């Protein structure tokens, strides 16, 4: 007879590094499964993927035993790895922080394929390219037009900044000149005041 499932939990943990501490302990402790056993089994199953975040779907049964299925790493973490980044761009698609090749995109798409709603590698590449775009990662040969536009925008922004700097410098020079010109006036005012007091 099949065991009765009480809960299915999804969790993402660095490969080979599960410990009974949070988040594992926080999530599974109240469910009564053997934390040390889960960590040992997860770490053994993911040791060859060290450095990746591996999502895991854990099925917990009424007798507190469990099974788990490993999923492919999140596309975002794989893209960061191939792009050599710690994190994606803060402005998403509006700020390109790195560029990857079409081959690198294909590698990520091939790894993600089992967990995507498609069996077509081209469609999978489109899905992963969308994730990359939202992280500020462009793909050579896919986002070339955007890259060219961004380079042009960056050049225009640099020119605008240089123009503003130059205007600011000339304004500062003007202010300094006016300040120098005002100093004798202040002295003259004081002098006139003193003369007026003497005349009284």
What is the DSSP secondary-structure string of 62-106? TTS-EEEEE-PPPHHHHHHHHHT-SS--TTGGGS--EEE-HHHHH
Q: How far from 81 is each of 17, 71, 105, CA to CA, in Å? A: 18, 17, 12
Query: How far apart, in whole angstroms, are the C-alpha atoms of residue 60 and residue 65?
Result: 6
Residue 59 confidence (pLDDT): 95
- The pLDDT, as a whole number, for residue 182 is 57
Complete domains list, the chain, with CATH: 5-70 (3.30.1550.10), 75-142 (1.10.10.250)
Q: What predicted TM-score, i.e. pTM, was given to this entire model? A: 0.59
Give residue 46's pLDDT.
93
CA atoms within 13 A of residue 33's CA, in its CB half-sphere: 28
Buried b / exposed e across 144-169, counting CB within 10 Å, b at 16+?
A: eeeeeeeeeeeeeeeeeeeeeeeeee
> Averaged in consecutive runs of 10 residues, what is the pLDDT profile of the chain (200 residues)?
87 93 92 94 93 91 94 90 85 79 93 89 91 88 61 66 78 74 52 52
């Amino acid at each position: 007879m099949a065991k009765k499932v009480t809960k299915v939990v999804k969790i993402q943990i660095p490969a080979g590094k599960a410990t009974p501490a949070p988040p594992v302990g926080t999530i599974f402790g109240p469910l009564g499964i053997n934390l040390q056993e889960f960590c040992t089994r997860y770490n053994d199953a993911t040791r060859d993927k060290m450095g990746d975040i591996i999502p895991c779907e854990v099925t917990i049964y009424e007798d507190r035993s469990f099974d788990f299925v490993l999923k492919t790493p999140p596309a975002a973490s794989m893209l960061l790895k191939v792009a050599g980044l710690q994190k994606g761009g803060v402005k998403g698609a509006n700020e390109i922080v790195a560029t990857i090749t079409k081959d690198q995109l294909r590698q990520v798409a091939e790894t993600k394929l089992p967990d995507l709603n498609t069996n077509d590698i081209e469609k999978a590449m489109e899905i992963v390219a969308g994730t990359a775009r939202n992280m500020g990662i462009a793909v050579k040969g896919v986002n070339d037009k955007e890259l060219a536009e961004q380079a042009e925008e960056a050049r225009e922004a640099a020119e605008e900044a240089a123009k503003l700097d130059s205007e600011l410098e000339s304004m500062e020079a003007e202010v300094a000149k006016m300040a120098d010109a005002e100093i004798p006036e202040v002295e003259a005012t004081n002098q006139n005041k003193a003369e007026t007091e003497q005349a009284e």
